[in-house]
Amino acid sequence: MKCESCNEREAKIHFTSVINGVMEEHHVCEECASGIQKDLHEQFPLHKLFEGIEVDTKCPNCGLSYEKFRSTGKLGCSRCYDAFGKELENVIRGIHGHTKHNGKIPKRGYSMIRHQEDIDHLDKELHEAVKLEEYEKAAVLRDEIKRIKSVMDSDKRGD
For the chain, the domains span: 1-53, 55-103, 107-157
pTM to 2 decimal places: 0.38
Fold of 1-53: Wheat Germ Agglutinin (Isolectin 2); domain 1 (3.30.60)
Burial class (CB in 10 A: 0-12, 13-18, 19+), 48: exposed
pLDDT in tens, 31-90: 887 777 666 656 555 545 444 444 467 889 999 888 888 788 888 898 888 888 878 887
Contact assessment for residue 76 and residue 64, using Cβ atoms and an 8 Å cutoff? yes
With vertex at residue 79, the alpha carbon angle to CA 78 and CA 80, rounded to the nearest 5 degrees, is 90
